[in-house]
Amino acid sequence: MKLVFWLLDINPKIDGKSVELWLWGIDSDGKRVLVVERNFVAYFYALLAGGVDASKVTENIMNDYGSSIASAEIVERRFFGKPVTAIKVSCRVATETGEIAERLRSVQGVADCLEDDIRAAMRYLLDNNLSPCGWHECHVESEDKTPEVRVNKVYVAKSPPKRLENVAVPDLRVMAFSTIYYSREGTPKSDRNPVLLLSTVDSNGEEKQLTAETGPDDKPVIEAFIQYVTEFDPDIIVSFGANSVHWTYLRGRSHTLGLHLDFDRAKLEPHTSMYGHVSLTGIVNLDLSDFMDVFPEVKVQTLWNLAYHLGVYKERQTIVEDVLFADYWDDIEKRDELKSFGLDSARKVYGSAVLLLDFATQLSGLTMLPLDQVLTAATGFRIEWFLIKQAQKDGELIPRRTEQIYAPYAGGLVLSPKPGLHENIAVLDFKSMYPNLMITYNLSPDTYIEPGRPEPPSGVYVAPEVGHRFRKSPPGFYKEALTYLINVRSEIRQEMSSLNPKSVEFRMLDARQKAVKIITNAAYGYAGWVGARWYIKPVAEAASAWGRYTIQKAMDMAKEAGVEVVYGDTDSLFIQYREAQAHALQENVKHQLKLDVEIGEVYQRIFFTEAKKRYAGLRADGSLDIVGLEVIRGDWAEVAKRVQQHILEIILKDQSPKKAIDYVRQTVADLKHRKLPFSDFVIWKTLTKSPEDYAIKAPHVQAAKMLKEKGWRLRGGDKVGYVVLSGKGRLYSRVKPHVFADIKDVDVDYYISNQVLPAAARILLFFNVTKGQLEKQTAETKENRSLMDYV
């Protein structure tokens, strides 16, 4: 019979020597199904050394290892663009692939073995052109002897599934949860600290709070959780932080209580899997904290900040810090507040998930990575899987990931800005510059001509400065991949333009074009990544060299046309805008450099300091575009950022330094009287490693160590919020984690002289502030450092 199903997840099922592939899905009737593939054959390629007799080597291999090998077939492939002969070795026992490959590496005539490191599930998806989060059609038979799995129906595949074009997504059962643990000893540990509260929100609109009202016994909480999950039978479980904390915690806690957290569709417990994520068999485990790299503008990565950024809620709400959970629980008057915070958190998880699921689904389909891996996989791996698909189409063998020597190379060209205010400035932007350069000059691992090698008949593009050569044709697989991506994106955007932005189709397409964009933009970075399978430094080096050439040429052309350039960075030029002239330049550049250039933002007014990568522009619609300055940095106190923001507004709109100074004076006065919220004083910084690994004493490291002393575990990647307190000595000796500090101990003078005034002076330095105004300022701040010191 024929089965049509949407592929939710795939996992290998290893039973002794047999490897089955389990394909979890949803059929066209909405039934949850498992399709078991029993005909998977693992294989790899033995790459032959030059000049050897392929059939002889094959014969030798079969003689010596025939008992482990199902078949050995001589095939023609390519490796880094060069034609190669290889033996495709299929293994009798899938789990022995790596071992056999390792042995064959030392066989006479075998140069190397490749693709033995492609795991079964990915191999299967790749070879059959399947796509997670996509519809497929498959000949199946019903399975009589149903394995112990929780689905409506189990089938056995009679042939590999075929992908269908349908892009719709079935109705998925989604469940979100949040946790609250009880600990008076810092970071909760599952062997001693109970789960006070589990809050859930699901796609049926049901909200639940599972709690241990009566005391420390949380066994009923976890039992109820297991029961609820089993009954609801979610396709996707969403959380914030489950990959790093909650699954391990809940599993550990279950064991402490003599329970098993075996609610997934194979009745197994959560287990760690690829790319540092936790797997739930047959259920997608989605951790929203893995989305954070998609939103770098959210500086302190918390659930609540993410949800706020996404517009899940509008009014800022009071958050209960985890440090205070135990206090809230023990205080009967505050316990309800904690409970509603827990439920609210689950709502935020669910609300955010609804908005992010389309994007994740599309990224999964594009990269071939299953939905629960695509977000935990780093950028490099996402693009790599996309490229692997393209390479396979071209007959390119997939290189192994090998240890490479890191060697930096020159990047983009950055021009020094002309400091001060400018009127009417347009940004001339090269659209998707690096991808387009790679397309235009056919930059790819398989088109690179090594020094000393003869020039191919098609001729070569020679990169400026660095001299790397790339054949002009045929196109490399980067060119093909990028051309596809860029075309697809513009088709999608075209299609979107005729749709209602509120329609489901529009939402889907928008998610897809965002996913495509992410992959497109990462291609250049991937090329220069030492960890890349296809790492060839000259590819990245040539791209950046062509980039510098391009921007330099465009600058020369601007000069020739009498257009003043005030700034530029990598792929953009900021020019004095006169409409006809600018458009003429745009056309000229487009034509001569064969790259797409657009006139982007036209600023009414723009302000540059002497520093590169830092400016503020006033857009035509009156909004500010602030780049690089303290305002948009996550490691400055809120009060300093707000002051700078207002100053920029005053300077760009009113052009009144006097007003700006008055504003600074007012804030300094407020600071002196502590008439500002405590959150204004918190400085957030990221730990790049565990606090004890630091060689130096830095303020945020000291604050982290204080948290650690109270039992709170902090690791690399964690953000520490601290405030500076009054006192003597080094800065690091008088900081405190914000959760333990009080506004009355804050050193307001530090915030005036090291936060607010420097941020203000960064801008005001460029305006003639009269002596009188400055003296007034000095008088106000008395012995503190005044603006004068900075001017």
Partner DNA sequence: GCATACGGAGTACCA
Partner DNA sequence: ACTGGTACTCCGTATGCG
CB of 532 to DNA, least distance (A): 7
Interface residue with DNA among 116, 396, 446, 571 (CB under 7 A) is 571
DSSP string, 596-661: -EEEEEEEEEEEE-SSTT-EEEE-TTS-EEEESSGGG-TTS-HHHHHHHHHHHHIIIII--HHHHH
Interface residue with DNA among 475, 699, 721, 737 (CB under 7 A) is 699
Interface residue with DNA among 292, 324, 731, 743 (CB under 7 A) is 731
Residue 698 binding DNA, by CB under 7 A: yes
Stretch that binds DNA, among 16-24, 105-113, 196-204, 407-415 (CB under 7 A): 407-415
Interface residue with DNA among 150, 612, 665, 776 (CB under 7 A) is 612
Q: Which residue has the tokens 């990462």?
A: 522
Q: Which residue has the tokens 């033996």?
A: 87
56 to 53, 65, 109, 114, 434: CA distances (angstroms): 5, 14, 9, 20, 46
239 contacts 178 by C-beta, under 8 angstroms: yes
Closer of 128 and 686 to DNA (Cβ): 686
Interface residue with DNA among 172, 628, 665, 708 (CB under 7 A) is 628
- Separation of alpha carbons 218 and 197, rounded Å: 9
**How many H-runs (helices) and E-runs (strands) does the chain carry?**
21, 29
Closer of 298 and 774 to DNA (Cβ): 298
10 Å CB burial of residue 624 (0-12, 13-18, 19+) is middle
- The helix/strand/coil state of 174 is strand
Stretch that binds DNA, among 13-21, 143-151, 405-413, 498-506 (CB under 7 A): 405-413
The amino acid at residue 219 is K
Sequence-distant (6+) residues with CB within 8 A of 708 are: 691, 692, 714
Which x/- pattern, by CB under 7 A, does the window 304-343 give for DNA? ----------------------------------------
Residue 302 binding DNA, by CB under 7 A: no
Which x/- pattern, by CB under 7 A, does the window 751-770 give for DNA? ---x---x---x--------
Residue 633 binding DNA, by CB under 7 A: yes
Residue 565 binding DNA, by CB under 7 A: no
CB of 631 to DNA, least distance (A): 9
- Separation of alpha carbons 748 and 5, rounded Å: 63
Residue 405 binding DNA, by CB under 7 A: no
- The helix/strand/coil state of 726 is coil
**DSSP structure class, residue 497:** H
Which x/- pattern, by CB under 7 A, does the window 77-96 give for DNA? --------------------
- Separation of alpha carbons 525 and 518, rounded Å: 11
- Separation of alpha carbons 120 and 23, rounded Å: 12
CB of 410 to DNA, least distance (A): 4
Which x/- pattern, by CB under 7 A, does the window 512-551 give for DNA? ----------x-xxx-xxxx--------x---x-------
CB of 696 to DNA, least distance (A): 5
Interface residue with DNA among 186, 252, 464, 634 (CB under 7 A) is 634
CB of 609 to DNA, least distance (A): 6
Interface residue with DNA among 517, 614, 659, 776 (CB under 7 A) is 614
Compute the Cα dihedral for 314, 316, 317, 321 and give only its sign: positive
Show the beta-strand stretches assigned E in 520-596: 565-568, 572-576
CB of 625 to DNA, least distance (A): 9
**DSSP structure class, residue 751:** I
User: Which of 685, 763, 669 has its CA nearest to residue 718?
Assistant: 685
Name the site residues for DNA (rule: CB under 7 A): 275-276, 296, 299, 378-381, 408-412, 414, 522, 524-526, 528-531, 540, 544, 569-572, 609, 611-614, 627-628, 632-635, 684-689, 694-701, 719, 730-732, 754, 758, 762
